[in-house]
Amino acid sequence: MNLLAFNLPIVVLLPFFGAILAAWASKLNRLAAAWTSGGVALLSLAFLMPSASLPFQGETLIQSWPWIDSIGLHFAFRLDGLALLFALLILIIGLLVIFYARYYLAAKDSMGRFFSYLLMFMGSMLGIVLSENLIQLVVFWELTSITSFLLISYWQQRKDARQGARMSLAITGGGGLALLGGVLLLGNVVGSYQLTDVLQAGEVIRNSPLYLPILILILLGVFTKSAQFPFHFWLPHAMAAPTPVSAYLHSATMVKAGIFLLARFFPVLSGTPEWSWLVGGAGLITFLLGGYTALFKNDLKGLLAYSTISHLGLITLLFGFGTQLAAVAAIFHIINHATFKASLFMVAGIIDHEAGTRDMRKLNGLIKYMPHTAALAIIASAAMAGVPLMNGFLSKEMFFQQAVEMSNADSMAWMIPVLVTIGGVFSVAYSIRFIHDVFFNGEPIGLTKTPHEPPRFMKIPVDILVIVCLAVGIFPAYTVAPILQVAVMGTLQTTAPAYSLAIWHGFNYPLMMSFIAMAVGVLVYFRRERFFAFYKRYFRRINAKRYFNFWLQKLFNASIRVTRSFDKGSLQNASAWIIGASLVIGAYGFLAYPGALLGDRALLPLDGVTLVVALGLMIISLLTMVWHRQRLLTLIVIGVIGLVISLGFVKFSAPDLALTQLSVEVVTIVLLLLALYFLPQYTPKQAGRIRLWRDGLLAAFAGIGVTLFTLSVLTRDYSTIAEYFLANSVPGGGGTNVVNVILVDFRGFDTLGEIVVLALAGLGVFAMLEGMKLPAPKNDIEGRLWNSDKHPLIMQTLTRLLLPLMLLVAVFIFLRGHNLPGGGFIAGLIASVALIVQYLANGIQWTSQRIKVDMHWSIGVGLLIAISTGLVAMGLGYPFLTSAFTHLHWPVVGEFEVASAIAFDLGVFLVVVGATVMSLVQLGKLSYASHHPNDPTANPVSQEVK
């Protein structure tokens, strides 16, 4: 098999699998997770490189497999110049951050958790930049919000980390929802969600009446993710994350995701006044606001955070100009900003690591303690300020040139060069402050330890990035020109315009603007006391976080009031609202569209047996109401109802449903019995005649309504898709059991989602009950002691004899499921009951010593097998979860059918067994722990529940 035929999905998915490997490797020794993560990033880079030459040859690589073709969702990846540039930034800077973090993290920090989060974030970013399908892109977009939340809140014990993570998730998550809406509208206009089709439909999109809603929704996603005004305030609060996270998320990845989207949609959304005003306006405000605020921050990372906001605004403003040369300058500055900002964040981390603080009011004169670090910081800051012979100077000159050219657009456009020059002044001023206040300006004040250089290898990533800043600034034609050229072509989707990367362009307006910015920036810094006083007087009280929390609390309070209006903390009250609303809506539907309530379709004849069973079912159901206070008796009656319903399935030729109902009924009864052990045997009597009348009337009207609705449907002719499944079950799925073929083939995606939910439910039950201890009842409500013989000998002997037989029945039901009633779900429930019975009859300790299978592994392996069957189909060029089958002639056995769906069914079986046994055994352990409070094996993390 040629792996290069699908190397792009491997590049994206490897970090996700690597995250699992890194978490496991951390158990070996402290540094194993770091080396594993570095190896995974290198491997992803290795899989990317064979295709990296294609964009340089003018080719775009598309690797696509249909997933859910009916809604336009394909598992599709794209590699052009723009995607290649961002993928290289993500992987290379990611490698440097991994290497840096290995030295930065303290011994008490969880290395496995950190690098697992980092790799998941890396995979999410790669998914964004390499996605060909827009819906898939949105999925990875939201994954970056989730994984960045985990990274920002890595130090969970810190309040600022938790608050910053929640703020970033709220802002970027909301933007992600807006982006989804914009993408859905965009796909509706184009008729496809494939990026190739969208990029060729620029005129159609711009001329569509939906253009403005599409633009606004997509820009909401862009502005929230890339911290553009008015959503810029979340990024500084994300600085509570470890510095390696800041260096990665806020230089080359997280905040660049929105910038990437601007570049990606530039050919189809730009070129309109709406684009220029919205994108250019937000970019200009962000550029100036971020630069101005950065000057007054005393925290090193705070200064860098606002400078990042400012530079992101600069890039956004360039895209807002809407010209091809402006796009060139924007792409160039993306590269330069990633290098000097990542190095500066790492320098800030080194200073914090070795000096014990990031407060610039204390950090003075560090050049004599940390000369190497000082040299690196000076070069990187010069690049950020746009000093000649640094990479930032070149892209800044391009920026100024575009601002000058835009000044000819209309009578007020002359302000653009003035405003961007002011922004340049701020950039120079805060860059000087970063250097002068930290490395010069006297001696350190009040440090808890003597600063010193970090370990030699900790500086290597910064050395590399600083060398890149110098190399690009001095030799741009030999270093950055090739990748910039293909990235521009990938952005514009056409030939790149003529531009120059020369260091010297003569005396012109951009050079004059640079000179003014540098000169005034130096003056502003050395006269900063007046500016500080002005800032403290008028701007210090402006706190976006306070406004955000205020309105968020208002939203919470409103939701609480609405919830309390309907939810009184009572299941009966909630059910009453739901049933009442359903009755009102149903009645409105029938009254608003008058017509015959019943149709003229003949019903099946009613036989005596069915009538008797139906009446019996009604009587038993009424008895549950009469006996509902006696919980054990009610549970027995409910079990009888389940048995009668399964007989009804048999009556109407649904043996699969009957088997499922019986199996579920047994598991449910066991579950409820284990739960009822800790509950009173009798339900408290409810007072209130009005409430009883209310509930009685609701129940009566609901019953009448459901009956009339059912008759209305059954007495009318309707079209069904059953004939399709009956006709295609054997030729399409290779099985005569239509129900099973639907579950594992035609609707396999639904089944996959259901077993994922089941797995999460099982893990949730395990997590909630792990380490819990409840007081065990010693007698019943009448004072009789519980039987001390919890594991009768006869039951022990019988269940041990039955175990092989029950497991054999489960295997039999599993193997026959594709052609006869059965399947993985039913077999899983039978096997679960077989195992649970052993725990009930023989006890937790005895059974656990003999059944040593970790049900976590059962769930994980089951999900992996189920997903792998879908991925294998996609690897062979078929839609996800497409099954295949053939007939083999085996010796002795004869002709035998082999279907790939059995592997998917095996995954279902393992998940059902794992989740069911895990939940029920955890409840059983709760009972055991309550009787053995001194047994450490029963309660490793015991806690009293009050």
- The partner residues of 630 in beta bridges, in order of sequence, read 682
- Which of 456-465, 749-758, 883-892, 936-945 has the least mean pLDDT? 936-945
Examine the pLDDT at 939 and tell me if it is beyond 50: no
Mean pLDDT, residues 871-890 taken together = 77
Phi, psi angle pair for 897, to nearest 5°: -85, 135
Of 348, 495, 364, which is closest to residue 439 (Cα–Cα)? 364
* Euclidean distance between CA atoms 616 and 648, whole angstroms: 12
**Predicted confidence band at 1 (pLDDT cuts at 50, 70, 90)?**
very low
Three-state DSSP at 894 gives strand
Question: What is the pLDDT, as a whole number, of residue 609?
Answer: 80
* Euclidean distance between CA atoms 701 and 718, whole angstroms: 26
- Which of 137-146, 267-276, 536-545, 877-886 has the least mean pLDDT? 536-545
Mean pLDDT, residues 495-522 taken together = 87
Between the CA of residue 3 and those of 36, 48, 122, 747, what are the distances in Å?
22, 11, 21, 29
Mean pLDDT, residues 436-457 taken together = 85
Mean pLDDT, residues 565-591 taken together = 81
* Euclidean distance between CA atoms 483 and 91, whole angstroms: 15
Between the CA of residue 388 and those of 397, 503, 859, what are the distances in Å?
10, 8, 59
Hey, how many other C-beta atoms are within 10 angstroms of the C-beta on 610?
14
DSSP string of 317-330, one letter each residue: HHHHH--HHHHHHH
pLDDT in tens, 170-198: 999 999 999 999 999 999 999 999 999 99
Domains of the chain by residue range: 270-400+429-526, 598-684, 735-946
User: Residue 298, exposed/middle/buried by CB under 10 A (0-12, 13-18, 19+)?
Assistant: middle
**Predicted confidence band at 274 (pLDDT cuts at 50, 70, 90)?**
very high
Between the CA of residue 345 and those of 352, 394, 424, 625, 937, what are the distances in Å?
11, 22, 20, 67, 46
Question: What is the pLDDT, as a whole number, of residue 4?
Answer: 64
DSSP string of 399-434, one letter each residue: HHHHHHHHTTSSTTTTHHHHHHHHHHHHHHHHHHHH
Question: What is the pLDDT, as a whole number, of residue 637?
Answer: 84
Examine the pLDDT at 940 and tell me if it is beyond 50: no
Hey, how many other C-beta atoms are within 10 angstroms of the C-beta on 447?
17
**Predicted confidence band at 355 (pLDDT cuts at 50, 70, 90)?**
confident
Question: What is the pLDDT, as a whole number, of residue 540?
Answer: 66
Question: What is the pLDDT, as a whole number, of residue 132?
Answer: 94
Q: Which comes out higher in pLDDT, residue 898 or 124? A: 124
Contact 196, 276 (CB under 8 A): no
Question: What is the pLDDT, as a whole number, of residue 797?
Answer: 85
Mean pLDDT, residues 7-22 taken together = 94
Examine the pLDDT at 822 and tell me if it is beyond 90: no
Examine the pLDDT at 209 and tell me if it is beyond 60: yes
Question: What is the pLDDT, as a whole number, of residue 411?
Answer: 59
DSSP string of 17-81, one letter each residue: HHHHHHHHHTTT-TTHHHHHHHHHHHHHHHHHHHHHHHHHTT--EEEEEEEEGGGTEEEEEEE-H
**Predicted confidence band at 946 (pLDDT cuts at 50, 70, 90)?**
very low
Buried b (16+ CB within 10 A) or exposed e, 883-918: bbbeeeeeeeeeeeeebbbbebbbbbbbbbbbbbbb
Question: What is the pLDDT, as a whole number, of residue 309?
Answer: 94
Question: What is the pLDDT, as a whole number, of residue 212?
Answer: 95
Mean pLDDT, residues 49-67 taken together = 90
**Predicted confidence band at 786 (pLDDT cuts at 50, 70, 90)?**
low
CA 568 to chain centre: 33
**Six-digit token string for 154:** 């890595």
Question: What is the pLDDT, as a whole number, of residue 5?
Answer: 67
Question: What is the pLDDT, as a whole number, of residue 803?
Answer: 86
* Euclidean distance between CA atoms 491 and 263, whole angstroms: 6
Contact 524, 531 (CB under 8 A): yes
Contact 375, 359 (CB under 8 A): no
Examine the pLDDT at 134 and tell me if it is beyond 90: yes
Question: Crossing angle of helices 571-592/689-714, nearest 10°?
Answer: 40
Question: What is the pLDDT, as a whole number, of residue 779?
Answer: 63
Contact 859, 914 (CB under 8 A): yes
**Predicted confidence band at 310 (pLDDT cuts at 50, 70, 90)?**
very high
Q: What is the pTM of this model?
A: 0.80
**Six-digit token string for 775:** 């007081």
Examine the pLDDT at 677 and tell me if it is beyond 80: no
**Predicted confidence band at 931 (pLDDT cuts at 50, 70, 90)?**
low
Q: Express as a percent the part of the chain with pLDDT over 70.
A: 93
pLDDT in tens, 385-408: 999 989 989 999 999 999 988 877
**Six-digit token string for 506:** 């003569």
**Predicted confidence band at 933 (pLDDT cuts at 50, 70, 90)?**
low
H/E run at residue 773: strand 772-773
Of 859, 915, 885, which is closest to residue 745 (Cα–Cα)? 885
Phi, psi angle pair for 68, to nearest 5°: -120, 85
- Which of 44-58, 655-669, 922-936 has the least mean pLDDT? 922-936
Q: What is the mean pLDDT of the chain?
A: 86
